[in-house]
């Protein structure tokens, strides 16, 4: 049985060679031939497979699974020196140990097998290193990690993918095509026959007759955000259980680039999972769509105010970062771009909260248990969030953060909540974003209305109101602050200490006359970029758009007065509202509620 295939660069998903193997590309005698799916190596060349997609995570497999034997099979032609290597990171250092070696000579393409003594390892990775010898025509054709386990004795695994989409036709159609070609209609794939797809079409724009099939199910849905879309998918999957029992629900975003081998690795891992870990969620890492070897997140941590990505900005072509990625953090939730959840954690009495968007995955992850497994190669690619600034998110960040804490942070009191709200207000005032401040205050007020607000309000209509009230991006030519590229780039420079001190002494220069303009990144900007400027162009680099923030002392002082009043009210009512939410949890997450909310 194949446990893990060795992969070559995939030009549909990621073509960065160093994510798959490392060769001396400066020497033309070592090169990858994509039409053959093979690496040709002249004499005295090397190929190292201590890479993100081709190492074997021996530490994870030993800890979580019943895998008891493993063999590496390599498809080769020519003469090679093969080394099997164990690598791991501890503290700030990396360690390497060669535990097996072999020299082989094959006149024709053939298979070389090397046993891996699993019992010797409790952490890190195992991988192979190839050195070609004196011959000029040496070829590496790939290979695999295999075991002689009896598949009939392994865990039954059947996966239902739950996708929520809103007018992302191109992404969804591409991913359906990938899943069809590589898994659903490919009898050679081990997941074939063990996977079906359920899509909640919140925008009702998909071509259902063309895309739907026996294994791809599409459901037109109200625009009720991610929470409502994923809840609809879970409901349909639960109803489908009588016809086709599933063991897991793989919650997946619509605007991602799928790595189908990640699904295969997830499937194999779940097959071998030890009984004591059957309740764990397999979490996929998010890699950046613009720089596909940079990891944005591998599990997340909710601290009560903010979400913090684990292992962010790791460079996965750097071996030290690859080894750091193998060390286990303690994430307490995983985002819904790729979360493979045991079906036992989902029921008609345990569905997502109706909080539309933002922190819905955090709350569900905290509620169903922060038992998360990550594994190298289980990933997908997503557009970076700095390209997705939206003023409307301030409302959901404030309101939904308070709701999550009401359920999962009993020690978080009204004083702390009011302090966090004031911090958000001051941060936005420092960026002249008075619209955001209004949305934050509205969010705190809506939270104070208690769970009846969620139960009785129309999420779609409310979202339209929030979007209408938010700042709007416009084409640059329609704005009266001109975009200047050098000014934009200068905003990323480190601030000099004396200017920082001046800002601190003058309340970000708010007590000084405001003059001139500036250009900043809408998402990545800092309050220093606004200090002393009368008007600032907030630039959206992905869309070539922007909006203008303009300083007003009158609006600043007026907003501070309104915010202090709102903070006092939030502090006073916080304990009562949190208790009301806790009492209403069963109703808010029930099938009965969702049937009414979704008009089912």
**Domain ranges for the chain:** 2-150, 155-383, 393-554
Distances (CA, A) of 420 to 19, 302, 413, 472: 41, 14, 11, 25
Rounded to whole angstroms, how far apart are CA atoms 299 and 551? 38
Distances (CA, A) of 404 to 23, 341, 458, 555: 48, 20, 20, 31
Name, in order, each residue with C-beta under 8 angstroms of 273's C-beta and a sequence gap of 6 or more: 64, 65, 66, 155, 280
Tell me what pLDDT residue 492 has. Answer: 83
Residue range 155-383 forms a domain whose CATH class is alpha beta
Name, in order, each residue with C-beta under 8 angstroms of 243's C-beta and a sequence gap of 6 or more: none
**What is the residue-level pLDDT of the chain in tens, covering all 600 positions?**
999 999 999 888 899 999 999 998 777 789 999 999 999 999 999 999 999 999 999 999 999 999 999 999 999 999 999 999 999 998 888 899 999 999 999 999 999 999 999 999 999 999 999 999 988 889 999 999 999 999 899 999 999 999 999 999 999 999 999 999 999 999 999 999 999 999 999 999 999 999 999 999 999 999 999 999 999 999 999 999 989 999 999 999 998 998 899 999 999 999 999 999 999 999 999 999 999 999 999 999 988 778 899 999 999 999 999 999 999 888 888 999 999 999 999 999 999 999 998 999 999 999 987 689 999 999 999 988 777 788 999 999 999 999 999 999 888 899 999 999 999 999 999 999 999 999 999 999 999 999 999 999 888 899 999 999 999 999 999 998 999 889 988 888 887 777 778 777 777 777 778 889 999 999 888 888 898 899 999 999 888 899 999 999 999 999 999 999 999 999 999 999 999 999 999 999 999 999 999 988
Stated pTM of the model = 0.92
- CA angle, residues 341, 343, 344, in degrees to nearest 5: 110
Could you identify the residue written with the tokens 């009401």?
Answer: 406
Rounded to whole angstroms, how far apart are CA atoms 526 and 506? 16
The torsion region of residue 173 among left (phi > 0), alpha (psi -120 to 50) and beta comes to alpha
Write down the CATH number for the domain with range 2-150.
3.90.550.60
The full DSSP string for 358-387 is SSHHHHHHHHH---EEEEEEEEEEE--GGG
What is the token pair recorded at 73?
């099979």
What is the token pair recorded at 524?
């990545």
Neighbouring C-alpha atoms within 13 Å toward the C-beta of 366: 20
Distances (CA, A) of 35 to 30, 32, 56, 183: 15, 9, 26, 22
Quick one: CA dihedral 284, 160, 359, 13, positive or negative? positive
Contact assessment for residue 402 and residue 306, using Cβ atoms and an 8 Å cutoff: no
Q: Would the CATH topology of 2-150 be identical to that of 155-383?
A: yes
């Amino acid at each position: 049985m194949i446990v893990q295939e060795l992969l070559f660069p995939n030009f549909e998903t990621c073509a960065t060679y160093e994510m798959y193997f490392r060769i001396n590309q400066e020497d033309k005698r070592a090169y990858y031939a994509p039409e053959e799916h093979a690496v040709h190596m002249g004499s005295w060349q090397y190929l190292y497979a201590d890479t993100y997609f081709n190492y074997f995570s021996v530490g994870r497999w030993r800890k979580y699974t019943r895998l008891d034997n493993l063999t590496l099979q390599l498809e080769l032609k020519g003469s090679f020196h093969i080394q099997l290597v164990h690598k791991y990171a501890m503290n700030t250092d990396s360690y390497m140990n060669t535990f097996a070696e072999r020299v082989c000579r094959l006149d024709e393409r053939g298979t070389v097998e090397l046993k891996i003594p699993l019992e010797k390892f409790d952490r890190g990775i195992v991988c192979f290193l190839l050195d070609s010898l004196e011959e000029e025509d040496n070829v590496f054709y790939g290979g695999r990690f295999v075991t002689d386990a009896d598949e009939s004795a392994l865990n039954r695994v059947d996966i239902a993918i739950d996708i929520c989409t809103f007018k992302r036709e191109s992404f969804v159609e591409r991913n359906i095509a990938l899943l069809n070609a590589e898994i659903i209609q490919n009898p050679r794939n081990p997941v074939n026959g063990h996977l079906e797809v359920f899509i909640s079409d919140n925008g009702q724009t998909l071509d259902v007759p063309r895309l739907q099939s026996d294994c791809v199910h599409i459901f037109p849905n109200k625009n009720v955000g991610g929470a409502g879309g994923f809840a609809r998918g879970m409901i349909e999957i639960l109803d489908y259980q009588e016809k086709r029992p599933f063991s897991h629900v793989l919650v997946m975003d619509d605007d991602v680039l799928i790595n189908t081998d990640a699904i295969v690795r997830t499937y194999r891992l779940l097959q071998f999972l030890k009984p004591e870990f059957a309740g764990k969620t397999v979490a996929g890492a998010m890699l950046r769509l613009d720089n596909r070897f940079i990891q944005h997140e591998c599990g997340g941590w909710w601290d009560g105010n903010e979400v913090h990505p684990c292992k962010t900005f790791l460079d996965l072509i750097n071996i030290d970062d690859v080894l750091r990625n193998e060390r286990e953090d303690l994430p307490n939730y995983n985002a819904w771009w790729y979360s493979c959840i045991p079906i036992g954690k989902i029921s008609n009495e345990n569905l997502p909260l109706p909080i539309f968007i933002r922190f819905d995955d955090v709350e569900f992850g905290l509620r169903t248990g922060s038992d998360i497994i990550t594994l190298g190669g289980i990933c997908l690619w997503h557009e970076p969030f700095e390209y997705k600034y939206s003023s409307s998110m301030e409302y959901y960040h404030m309101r939904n953060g308070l709701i999550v804490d009401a359920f999962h942070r009993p020690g978080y009191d009204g004083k702390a909540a009011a302090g966090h709200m004031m911090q958000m207000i001051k941060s936005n005032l420092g960026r002249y974003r008075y619209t955001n401040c209004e949305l934050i205050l509205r969010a705190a007020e809506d939270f104070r209305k208690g769970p009846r607000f969620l139960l009785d309000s129309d999420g779609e209509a409310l979202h339209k109101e929030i979007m209408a009230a938010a700042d709007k991006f416009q084409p640059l030519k329609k704005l009266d602050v001109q975009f200047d590229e050098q000014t934009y780039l200068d905003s990323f420079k480190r601030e000099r200490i004396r200017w920082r001190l001046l800002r601190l002494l003058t309340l970000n220069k708010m007590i000084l006359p405001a003059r001139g303009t500036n250009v900043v990144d809408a998402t990545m900007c800092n309050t220093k970029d606004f200090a002393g400027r009368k008007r600032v162009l907030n630039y959206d680099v992905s869309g070539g758009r922007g909006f203008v923030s303009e300083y007003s002392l009158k609006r600043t002082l007026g907003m501070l007065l309104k915010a202090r009043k709102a903070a006092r009210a939030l502090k006073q009512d916080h304990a009562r509202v949190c208790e009301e939410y806790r009492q209403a949890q069963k109703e808010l997450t029930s099938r009965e509620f969702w049937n009414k909310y979704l008009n089912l």
